[in-house]
């Protein structure tokens, strides 16, 4: 089937099985894929244990077709989920993808999305292991990612200890800045709009952090303060973020000036960047990571996140069922 020719143009015309055949055609696979798509399940060689995480992306909630092309949607679906595997200190190995869409969805759109999935799998160094396609009223992508710890212990949210240093790798505030300008009808600065469409996950840095001895790690999906809040509560500590430690990129300064939003707010509370934030014993922050704070005993109000040693008054993150709610 050639989507550019006189072939079927909608999913209903193409049919489920022809669609799947298109989606898995010439799929690359590493030696670790013992069995790829086409059977009831795929088989992946793992080192004794497997790390697994799943994410669902829904049209209108996690992406908008008028803001993101299909390739971006596919890339984002892989990126956000592989980031979770990285955040466990694991090496991402593979993903399976559940895809549902209306029957009148254009085949070309779906194939572009599939290309995006493959592109990001290549970026992340993971195998596309299989999936499921089905009809639905809205476009939904559910990605489950698998990875191996290569014999290491998982880096959990609960391991931060007083005296540890807080550091991050990746980008912070870029996706929120992109959302801000898109929401106001602009398409620039291009750099932040691109990151809103496809987060730039610091692939490989999860395992780097684990090898360096990270005591806790999380990927920043809801916002730095919100996600560090999970770490602080799970670890029973306070985490003090120093705003002075951030070098605000010029692009974020530009967006801040144009929208009258303090760019440090974007950095501290913006979600969807999927940077990695981790705590390390003093002196063990690996290269490529930026130190941005410290872990202390739980403050008087209990475990939580402080900004410049004070409690933060804003909204630290996002709740899917209560988009306006504070948490």
Residue 191 or 222: the one with the smaller Cβ distance to a second copy is: 222
Q: Is residue 1 a contact point for a second copy (CB under 8 A)?
A: no
Separation of alpha carbons 205 and 128, rounded Å: 21
Q: Is residue 40 a contact point for a second copy (CB under 8 A)?
A: yes
- Least distance in angstroms from the C-beta of 187 to a second copy: 26
**Cis upstream peptide for 189 (omega within 30°):** yes
Q: What is the dihedral of CA 56, 50, 164, 240, to 10 degrees?
A: 10
Tokens of 36: 């790829």
Residue with tokens 């593979």: 94
Q: Is residue 60 a contact point for a second copy (CB under 8 A)?
A: yes
Q: Is residue 52 a contact point for a second copy (CB under 8 A)?
A: yes
According to CB under 8 A, which residues from 4 to 23 bind a second copy? Answer: 11-17, 19
According to CB under 8 A, which residues from 122 to 151 bind a second copy? Answer: 129-138, 140, 142, 144-147, 149
Among 72, 219, 240, 273, binds a second copy (CB under 8 A): 219
Separation of alpha carbons 309 and 327, rounded Å: 19
Number of residues that bind a second copy (CB under 8 A): 79
- Describe the strand order of the beta sheet including 290-297 as a list of residue ranges: 216-219, 276-280, 165-169, 290-297, 237-241, 304-307, 310-311
Q: Is residue 261 a contact point for a second copy (CB under 8 A)?
A: no
Q: Is residue 55 a contact point for a second copy (CB under 8 A)?
A: yes
Q: Select from 293, 278, 287 the least CA-distant residue to 83.
A: 278
Residue 81 or 251: the one with the smaller Cβ distance to a second copy is: 81
Among 77, 78, 91, 99, binds a second copy (CB under 8 A): 99
Tokens of 85: 């595997």
Among 24, 29, 56, 248, binds a second copy (CB under 8 A): 56
Annotated binding site: 40, 53-55, 62, 84, 131-132, 157, 219, 221-222, 272, 318
Separation of alpha carbons 187 and 193, rounded Å: 7
């Amino acid at each position: 089937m050639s989507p550019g020719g006189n072939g079927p143009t909608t999913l209903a015309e193409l049919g489920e099985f022809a669609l799947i055949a298109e989606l898995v055609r010439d799929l690359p696979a590493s030696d670790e894929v013992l069995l790829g798509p086409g059977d009831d399940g795929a088989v992946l060689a793992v080192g004794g244990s497997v790390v697994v995480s799943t994410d669902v992306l829904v049209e209108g909630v996690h992406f908008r077709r008028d803001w993101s092309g299909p390739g971006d949607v596919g890339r984002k679906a892989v990126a956000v989920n592989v980031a979770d595997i990285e955040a466990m200190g694991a090496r991402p190995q593979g993903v399976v993808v559940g895809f549902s869409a209306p029957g009148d969805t254009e085949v070309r759109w779906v194939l572009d999305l599939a290309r995006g999935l493959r592109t990001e799998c290549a970026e992340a160094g993971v195998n596309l292991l299989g999936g499921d396609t089905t009809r639905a009223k809205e476009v939904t992508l559910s990605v489950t990612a698998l990875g191996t710890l290569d014999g290491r212990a998982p880096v959990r949210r609960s391991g931060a200890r007083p005296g540890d240093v807080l550091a991050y790798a990746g980008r912070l505030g870029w996706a929120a800045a992109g959302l801000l300008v898109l929401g106001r009808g602009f398409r620039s600065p291009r750099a932040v709009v691109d990151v809103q469409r496809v987060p730039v996950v610091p692939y490989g840095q999860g395992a780097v952090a684990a090898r360096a001895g990270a005591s806790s790690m999380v990927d920043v999906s809801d916002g730095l303060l919100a996600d560090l809040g999970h770490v602080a509560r799970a670890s029973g500590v306070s985490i003090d973020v120093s705003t002075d430690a951030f070098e605000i990129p010029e692009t974020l300064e530009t967006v801040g000036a144009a929208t009258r939003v303090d760019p440090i707010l974007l950095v501290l509370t913006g979600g969807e960047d999927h940077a990695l934030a981790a705590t390390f014993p003093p002196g063990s922050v690996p290269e490529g990571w930026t130190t941005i704070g410290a872990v202390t005993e739980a403050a008087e109000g209990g475990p939580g996140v402080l900004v410049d040693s004070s409690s933060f008054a804003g909204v630290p993150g996002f709740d899917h069922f209560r988009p306006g709610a504070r948490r």
